[in-house]
């Protein structure tokens, strides 16, 4: 069994998608549709920068999705590898869950781009700049991270945002609480804590205003039926019902990204092969979660060609 994976924020970089766009009409069509949907030349920003603009949450979220879907469309149209024929399920990290849903027909590309643009704006504006941040804990398991977060909170918000793999957990909350956590890491047996260069404290309860806005948006633009199960971030379980998935997408804004558990759940359900589309972030996480899992990253035309030959 094979799962197709879709990366999340942090995988953006200037030049992303340029090779695919130069080589394939299928990729150009994706970038053109996203540009039209957002009424901006996002594809130019992806190709040329500036990096500080591409990194902004409101741009990074639709850009990462567009790159992943472009990779998928090239695989499907240029190499004849259909997702439904060669995959058994999909999953995405944070915003990547929207890309996964787009890939299996729950949202159109246009709607996905608009929802992610709104999601980025809502998350950016939920907390005043400087009041919240995030930190990555290296060499930390989930129990160590939870104990540290509880100790550092001191009446403020300090919560686990991402359970990425057995050695990497991300915490999120009020800036002072996150800074206290970084100072305390050694006391909890954690190798290192680093403040992340992010514009807001994602995936914690401070994001509730953004969750409220997404609830409204997803009532208007709800997921349709999808062709493959989606492993949702907040439940770490397969979802097939669109209404259930809509509720989980709202919960996801403030909830923990349970990526480690999601990969373990897919493995328990029989998935042996994981294919990341448009990035090289999730694949290494999968390998750290389960060294026996087969991992493939598809970024370049050469990657896609090699994968197509393998599937032939």
Pairing assessment for the beta strands 273-277 and 294-298 based on DSSP bridges? parallel
Q: What is the mean pLDDT of residues 124-139?
A: 94
| pLDDT for the residue numbered 291 | 96
| pLDDT for the residue numbered 284 | 95
Nearest to 311 by CA among 292, 293, 296: 296
Task: With a cut of 90, say whether residue 311 has pLDDT above it.
Answer: no
pTM for this predicted structure: 0.96
Statement to judge: residues 101 and 235 lie in one domain? yes
Determine the Cα angle at 281 with ends 278 and 282, to 5°.
90
CATH assignment at residue 176: 3.30.70.250
What the block records as the tokens of 204 is: 């914690």
- C-alpha 231/C-alpha 209 separation (Å) is 25
Residues serving a catalytic function are: 94, 203
Q: What is the mean pLDDT of residues 168-195?
A: 97
Statement to judge: residues 154 and 121 lie in one domain? no
What would the pLDDT profile of 227-258 be if each residue is shown by its tens digit?
999 999 999 999 999 999 999 999 999 999 99
| pLDDT for the residue numbered 120 | 93
Range of the domain at 215: 2-126+206-311
Cα of first residue to Cα of last residue in the chain, in angstroms, is: 16
Statement to judge: residues 214 and 81 lie in one domain? yes
Task: With a cut of 90, say whether residue 115 has pLDDT above it.
Answer: yes
Statement to judge: residues 54 and 165 lie in one domain? no
Statement to judge: residues 114 and 234 lie in one domain? yes
Number of domains in the chain: 2
Statement to judge: residues 148 and 119 lie in one domain? no
CA atoms within 13 A of residue 159's CA, in its CB half-sphere: 16
End residue of a domain, out of 198, 222, 256:
198
What the block records as the tokens of 149 is: 């977060």
Statement to judge: residues 218 and 296 lie in one domain? yes
What the block records as the tokens of 181 is: 């956590």
| pLDDT for the residue numbered 197 | 82
Task: With a cut of 90, say whether residue 17 has pLDDT above it.
Answer: yes
| pLDDT for the residue numbered 10 | 79
Statement to judge: residues 182 and 273 lie in one domain? no
- C-alpha 56/C-alpha 222 separation (Å) is 26
Q: What is the mean pLDDT of residues 81-87?
A: 94
End residue of a domain, out of 154, 169, 198:
198
Task: With a cut of 90, say whether residue 9 has pLDDT above it.
Answer: no
For residues 69 and 42, the answer to whether their CB atoms sit within 8 Å is no
Statement to judge: residues 212 and 76 lie in one domain? yes
């Amino acid at each position: 069994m094979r799962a197709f994976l879709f990366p999340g924020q942090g995988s953006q970089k200037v030049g992303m998608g340029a090779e695919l766009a130069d080589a394939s009409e299928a990729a150009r069509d994706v970038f053109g549709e996203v540009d039209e949907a957002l009424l901006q030349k996002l594809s130019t920003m992806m190709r040329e920068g500036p990096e500080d603009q591409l990194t902004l949450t409101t741009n990074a979220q639709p850009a990462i999705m567009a790159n992943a879907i472009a990779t998928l469309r090239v695989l499907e149209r240029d190499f004849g590898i259909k997702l439904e024929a060669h995959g058994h399920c999909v999953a995405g990290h944070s915003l990547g869950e929207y890309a996964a849903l787009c890939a299996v027909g729950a949202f159109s590309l246009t709607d996905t781009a608009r929802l992610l643009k709104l999601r980025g704006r809502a998350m950016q504006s939920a907390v005043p700049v400087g009041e919240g941040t995030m930190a990555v804990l290296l060499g930390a398991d989930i129990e160590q991270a939870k104990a540290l977060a509880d100790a550092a909170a001191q009446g403020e918000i300090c919560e686990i945002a991402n359970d990425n793999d057995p050695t990497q957990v991300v915490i999120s909350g009020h800036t002072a609480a996150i800074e206290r956590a970084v100072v305390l890491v050694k006391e909890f047996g954690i190798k290192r804590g680093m403040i992340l260069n992010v514009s807001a404290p994602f995936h914690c309860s401070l994001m509730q205003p953004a969750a409220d806005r997404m609830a409204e948006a997803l009532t208007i633009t709800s997921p349709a039926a999808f062709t493959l199960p989606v492993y949702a971030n907040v439940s770490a379980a397969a979802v097939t019902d669109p209404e259930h998935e809509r509720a989980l997408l709202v919960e996801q804004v403030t909830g923990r990204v349970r990526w480690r558990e999601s990969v373990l759940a897919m493995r328990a359900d029989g998935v042996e092969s994981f294919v990341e589309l448009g990035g090289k972030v999730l694949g290494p996480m999968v390998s750290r979660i389960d060294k026996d899992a087969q991992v493939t990253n598809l970024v370049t035309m050469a990657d896609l060609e090699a994968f197509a030959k393998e599937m032939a």
